[in-house]
Amino acid sequence: MISPAHYVALAAILFVIGGVGVLIRRNALVVFMCVELMLNAVNLSFIAFSRLHGNLDGQVIAFFVMVVAAAEVVVGLAILTSIFRTRKSASVDDASLLKY
């Protein structure tokens, strides 16, 4: 017997993997992809809870999350290309001018 808890557990695991990826990877593109993984995991739990409650509100919220994630990716990747243009590097360690 499968329950929404299965999906929520999977969403938790994927979220943690994405978070660890954000912490340990230093290529900015990969960091972005891990953020996308976390957003997707949250969407999965939203849909699982939507099914648990028997209404569609969770699906609407997941839809909005997708829209916001798409906007975030567009702006983030534009920032990444402009950083790459000046630094010739996609590593998050190299964008450290504000640190000093």
Please, which of residues 8-47 interact with another protein by CB under 8 A? 8-10, 12-21, 23-27, 29-30, 32-34, 36-37, 40, 43-44, 47
By CB under 8 A, residue 98 contacts another protein: no
CB of 36 to another protein, least distance (A): 7
CB of 80 to another protein, least distance (A): 6
Q: Which of 67, 98 has the CB closer to another protein? A: 67
Give least dist CB 31 to another protein, A.
10
C-beta separation of 56 from 50 below 8 A? yes
